């Protein structure tokens, strides 16, 4: 027995001789990455990192091995290591962001594909990009995206929309999880209150996408994709306060209701109740707001990993702007001017993948929007309901990747304006088909077409063509062309039609706008031997519109005239993004756009109002590891744009100057679950009133009680009104809010 025991100990000792353990840590930007995949392929050994980013693999004999570490959203790293004795081996991995170039995107083709493989160019922005300049809503967050500009439309209530490549906000379709629920009334008010805690990423397509998404996707689309509950942290909170008194609170949490059901909740609250008038016109520089938004998403695990999710959002906002002495008792009267807007909105959206062998997905959404607003003594009461259902069939046949779809859209709209004599109810059925043909690994062609029927406008057909040429792994050329259409609802989209004293003149029954677009996109990736990455993406585009509806501020300074353009409108330009990632911790995202947006009527070409000829954006980040400190310097710059003045005597400038908003942020992240950040917004303290005698015309007489008119209805210049103006707050091209500091805290529990 003793001999057997001695033999066993000897054999065990021999077996353990030369065995060792591999230990290490996986991190990114100095922060641990939990659940990173660590694989030794030749030994078929693998593990995942723990909550601190640490990993361990045991029992290595002498030899040389290859280890691979990967994590979603980051570039995979591979290293060679050698085991020469029984001493433990330590390897640490600092992963770099994937620069969004190899991510999976869905917006361009309604299919989940690698961004590099998509024939349609899609830009992707993650929450980390928007954290470089924290904002209270998606509307403000997009200000640092090249070629995308949040445009304020009113100096009083500060409502706005999103411009892409110089096109007005109604030309941009905003989706949440692929559902078109931000449109009509919510084009102006629906971009606020989407909780940032639920944001997975934002995908942006510049150029028309009507063949897939229908009306409104003429200038481009923005798809706000929310997190999958199973990938979200258990709890997260992000709150900041500015020295103007703005308070924003974002809270998110998830729960596993059962083994197969998970739930994610996000709550956003924003409050600003401190009237400020730094430009001394007796009007609020920033609209006062009290807003809450609650979003909840449920995921249900089906057999065979079939998708099934439901989500809902409730939104309420009370906002007002106007004369500093305004109170709610003056609402709707003509004693003190104020613009007060109550918005109630709820949304439901879902996706259900049919439990059959074929890949078929049914998506649906429903929104109910109730707006109670007054603009001075003019009430605007509106209700809108939109229902949407869509069934798609994803089918692959040899080298053909096919998509068939049918959709049905229900629209209800009613308001108290003379433009809506009775409630408008419309059903719009649609059919669409898409075929992505892969001739080989390097050449793909996408053909698409959509048919819509609108009872007011008849049949509408929108074709599409895309071509992708993969020159090599680091160079891709894309060509896209297609048509688009848009049906205008004047009072839900044109805020200027409601505010101020200009008369609204609609000369004819407005026909749908139509467009033809072509764009060329080139993407290149450069990798230096020292690990530096440079990504360059450049796009040139040309879009021509017929039946374009552009508000005419010029013909009569007392009117806004709406009609279909008897001619054409054109937007053309070139845009480029450059990403730098250096090994020393420095990162830069730089963008520039040059464009020409004009309309031609009666052989006369004029520049589009409130549209810049060039713009630039930047986000420069640097990490000081020893101090646990991140520095972010962000900003944008805009070239001159033509502005809506009120006549030859108006002393305000006809063109804006070149202007810039710049911000800096310092983030301290020594603690595992907590980030503390502070900084300064609008470092240059720029506001539009610089160089102008005033911004709001006749701010001292907002009800035009002392304005005198001649026999033809034109305003007369008098001692009290030397410039011959009426009240008008539409002279706005940038925010009136100057320099301010902020302090915030983020807490994340994985």
User: Domain boundary residue among 94, 122, 149?
Assistant: 94
Q: What is the domain extent for residue 324? A: 224-707
pLDDT at 14 exceeding the cut of 50: no
Residue 5: inside a domain: no
Return the H-helix or E-strand segment holding 397. Answer: strand 378-397
Residue 62 CB neighbour total at 10 angstroms: 13
pLDDT at 722 exceeding the cut of 60: yes
Give the pLDDT confidence of 397-417 residue by residue, as tens digits.
999 999 999 999 998 988 887
Residue 737: inside a domain: no
> What's the pLDDT score for residue 700?
94
> How far apart (Å, rounded) are the C-alpha atoms in residues 493 and 488?
8
> How far apart (Å, rounded) are the C-alpha atoms in residues 247 and 52?
32
CA atoms within 13 Å, Cβ hemisphere of 327: 2
Higher pLDDT, 581 or 549: 581
- CB contact at 8 A, 65 and 43: yes
pLDDT band at residue 10 using 50, 70 and 90 as cut-offs: very low
At residue 551's C-alpha, the angle toward residues 549 and 552, to 5°, is 120
- What are the two backbone dihedrals, phi and then psi, of residue 625, each rounded to the nearest 5 degrees? -60, -40
Higher pLDDT, 243 or 513: 243
The DSSP secondary-structure symbol of 144 reads: G
Residue 613: inside a domain: yes
> How far apart (Å, rounded) are the C-alpha atoms in residues 735 and 718?
31
Nearest to 523 by CA among 582, 590, 586, 472: 472
Residue 199: inside a domain: no
End-to-end Cα spacing for the chain:
53
Give the pLDDT confidence of 318-346 residue by residue, as tens digits.
999 999 999 999 999 999 999 999 999 99
Residue 598: inside a domain: yes
Query: To which residue do tokens 């029927």 refer?
Result: 453
Q: Which two tokens stand for residue 540?
A: 């040139």
Residue 281: inside a domain: yes
Nearest to 318 by CA among 286, 338, 344, 295: 344
Query: To which residue do tokens 């020393």 refer?
Result: 584
- CB contact at 8 A, 582 and 567: no
Q: Among the residues of 17-62, which ranges form H helices?
A: none
> How far apart (Å, rounded) are the C-alpha atoms in residues 451 and 404?
12
Residues 85, 234 share a domain: no
The DSSP secondary-structure symbol of 560 reads: E
> How far apart (Å, rounded) are the C-alpha atoms in residues 158 and 652?
20
Nearest to 576 by CA among 608, 541, 544: 541
Sign of CA pseudo-dihedral 734, 736, 737, 739: positive
> How far apart (Å, rounded) are the C-alpha atoms in residues 409 and 217?
15
> How far apart (Å, rounded) are the C-alpha atoms in residues 53 and 30?
11
Residue 217: inside a domain: no
Residue 238: inside a domain: yes
Give the pLDDT confidence of 285-321 residue by residue, as tens digits.
999 999 999 999 999 988 788 889 999 999 999 999 9
Quote the distance between the C-alpha of residue 643 and its chain's center. Answer: 26
- CB contact at 8 A, 234 and 252: no
- CB contact at 8 A, 592 and 576: yes
- CB contact at 8 A, 510 and 549: yes
Quote the distance between the C-alpha of residue 214 and its chain's center. Answer: 19
Quote the distance between the C-alpha of residue 654 and its chain's center. Answer: 30
Residues 412, 274 share a domain: yes
> What's the pLDDT score for residue 210?
59
> What's the pLDDT score for residue 558?
66
Higher pLDDT, 63 or 636: 636
Return the H-helix or E-strand segment holding 293. Answer: strand 288-300
The CATH number of whichever domain residue 345 belongs to comes to 2.40.170.20
Nearest to 161 by CA among 542, 611, 554: 611
Domain count, the chain: 2
> How far apart (Å, rounded) are the C-alpha atoms in residues 540 and 538?
7
Q: Span 190-219, mean pLDDT? A: 74
Indicate the average pLDDT of the chain. 86
Concatenated DSSP letters for 95-133?
--B-TTTS-EE-TTTSS-EETTT-SS--EEE-HHHHTTS
Q: Span 371-398, mean pLDDT? A: 92
Sign of CA pseudo-dihedral 502, 508, 510, 511: negative
> What's the pLDDT score for residue 299?
92
> How far apart (Å, rounded) are the C-alpha atoms in residues 322 and 155?
9
> What's the pLDDT score for residue 7?
46
The DSSP secondary-structure symbol of 14 reads: H
Identify any residues that bridge with 617 across adjacent strands, giving them in sequence order: 591, 636
Of 95-109, 491-505, 706-720, least confident by mean pLDDT is 491-505
Of 184-188, 497-501, 690-694, least confident by mean pLDDT is 497-501
> What's the pLDDT score for residue 29?
63
User: Domain boundary residue among 63, 94, 125?
Assistant: 94
Concatenated DSSP letters for 33-66?
-TT-EEEEGGGTEEEE--TTSEEEEEEE-SEEEE
> What's the pLDDT score for residue 496?
47
> What's the pLDDT score for residue 28?
77
pLDDT band at residue 489 using 50, 70 and 90 as cut-offs: low
Q: Span 255-259, mean pLDDT? A: 89
Indicate the pTM of the whole model: 0.84
% pLDDT > 70, the chain? 88
> How far apart (Å, rounded) are the C-alpha atoms in residues 378 and 497?
11
> How far apart (Å, rounded) are the C-alpha atoms in residues 659 and 734?
9
pLDDT band at residue 349 using 50, 70 and 90 as cut-offs: very high
User: Domain boundary residue among 94, 116, 144?
Assistant: 94
The CATH number of whichever domain residue 53 belongs to comes to 2.60.40.10
CA distances from 359 to 111, 179, 197, 393, 394 (A): 11, 19, 31, 6, 5
Q: Span 596-614, mean pLDDT? A: 89
Q: Which two tokens stand for residue 567?
A: 């001619």
- CB contact at 8 A, 247 and 231: no
Q: Span 537-548, mean pLDDT? A: 89
Residues 484, 343 share a domain: yes
> What's the pLDDT score for residue 2?
53
Residues 230, 89 share a domain: no
């Amino acid at each position: 027995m003793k001999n057997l025991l001695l033999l066993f100990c000897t054999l065990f000792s021999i077996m353990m001789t030369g065995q060792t353990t591999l230990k290490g840590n996986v991190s990114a930007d100095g922060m641990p990455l939990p659940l990173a995949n660590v694989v030794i392929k030749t030994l078929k050994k693998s593990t995942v990192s723990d909550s601190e980013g640490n990993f361990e693999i045991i029992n290595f004999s002498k030899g040389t091995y290859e280890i691979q570490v990967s994590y979603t959203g980051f570039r995979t790293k591979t290293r060679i290591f050698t085991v020469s004795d029984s001493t433990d081996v330590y390897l640490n991995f600092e992963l770099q962001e994937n620069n969004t170039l190899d991510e999976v995107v869905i917006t361009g083709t309604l299919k989940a594909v690698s961004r590099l493989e998509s024939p349609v160019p899609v830009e992707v922005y993650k929450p980390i990009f928007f954290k470089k300049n924290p904002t209270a809503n998606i509307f403000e967050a997009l200000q640092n995206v090249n070629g995308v500009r949040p445009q304020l439309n009113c100096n009083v209530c500060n409502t706005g929309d999103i411009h892409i490549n110089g096109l007005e906000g109604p030309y941009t379709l905003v989706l949440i999880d692929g559902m078109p629920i931000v449109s009509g009334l919510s084009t102006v008010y629906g971009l606020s209150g989407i909780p940032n805690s639920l944001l997975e990423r934002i995908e942006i397509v510049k150029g028309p996408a009507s063949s897939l998404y229908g009306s409104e996707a003429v200038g481009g689309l923005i798809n706000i994709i929310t997190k999958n509950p199973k990938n979200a942290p258990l709890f997260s909170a992000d709150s900041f306060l500015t020295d103007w008194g703005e308070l924003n609170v974002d809270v998110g949490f998830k729960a596993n209701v059962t083994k197969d059901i998970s739930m994610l909740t996000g709550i956003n609250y924003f409050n600003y109740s401190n009237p400020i008038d730094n430009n001394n016109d007796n009007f609020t520089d920033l609209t006062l707001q009290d807003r809450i938004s609650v979003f909840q998403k449920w995921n249900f695990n089906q057999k065979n990993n079939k998708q099934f999710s439901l989500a809902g959002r409730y939104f309420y906002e009370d906002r007002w702007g106007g004369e500093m002495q305004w109170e709610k008792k003056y609402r709707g009267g003509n004693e003190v001017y104020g613009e007060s807007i109550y918005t109630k909105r709820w949304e439901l959206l879902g996706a259900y993948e049919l439990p059959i062998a074929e890949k078929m997905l049914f998506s649906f959404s429903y929104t109910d929007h109730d707006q109670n607003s007054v603009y001075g003594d003019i009430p605007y009461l509106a209700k809108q309901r939109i229902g949407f259902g869509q069934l798609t069939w994803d089918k692959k046949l040899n080298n053909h990747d096919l998509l068939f779809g049918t959709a049905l859209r229900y629209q209800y709209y009613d308001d108290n304006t003379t433009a809506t004599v009775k409630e408008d109810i419309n059903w719009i059925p649609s059919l669409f088909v898409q075929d992505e043909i892969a001739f080989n690994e390097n050449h793909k062609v996408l053909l698409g077409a959509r048919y819509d029927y609108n009872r007011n406008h008849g049949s509408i057909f929108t074709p599409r063509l895309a071509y992708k040429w993969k020159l090599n792994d680091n160079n891709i050329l894309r060509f896209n062309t297609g048509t688009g259409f848009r049906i205008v609802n004047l009072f839900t989209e044109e805020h200027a039609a409601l505010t101020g004293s200009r008369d609204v003149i609609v000369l004819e029954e407005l026909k749908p706008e139509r467009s033809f677009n072509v764009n060329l996109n080139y993407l290149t990736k450069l990798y230096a031997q020292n690990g530096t990455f440079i990504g360059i993406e450049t796009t040139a585009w040309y879009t021509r519109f017929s039946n374009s509806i552009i508000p005419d501020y010029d013909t009569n300074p007392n009117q806004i005239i709406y009609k279909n353009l008897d001619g054409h409108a054109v937007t053309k330009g070139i845009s480029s993004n450059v990403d730098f990632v250096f090994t020393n911790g420095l990162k830069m995202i730089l963008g520039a756009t040059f464009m020409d947006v004009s309309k031609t009527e009666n052989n006369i070409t004029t520049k589009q109002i409130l549209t810049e000829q060039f713009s630039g954006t930047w986000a420069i980040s640097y990490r000081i590891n020893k101090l646990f400190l991140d520095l972010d310097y962000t900003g944008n710059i805009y070239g001159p744009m033509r502005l809506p003045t009120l006549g030859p005597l108006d002393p305000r400038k006809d063109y804006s100057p070149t202007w810039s908003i710049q911000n800096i942020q310092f983030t301290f992240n020594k603690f595992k679950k907590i980030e503390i950040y502070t900084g300064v917004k609008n470092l240059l303290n720029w506001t539009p009133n610089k160089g102008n005698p005033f911004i709001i015309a006749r701010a001292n007489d907002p009800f035009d009680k002392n304005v005198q008119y001649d026999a033809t209805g034109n305003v007369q210049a008098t001692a009290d009104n030397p410039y011959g103006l009426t009240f008008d707050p539409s002279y706005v091209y940038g925010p009136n809010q100057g320099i301010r500091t902020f302090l915030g805290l983020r807490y994340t529990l994985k």
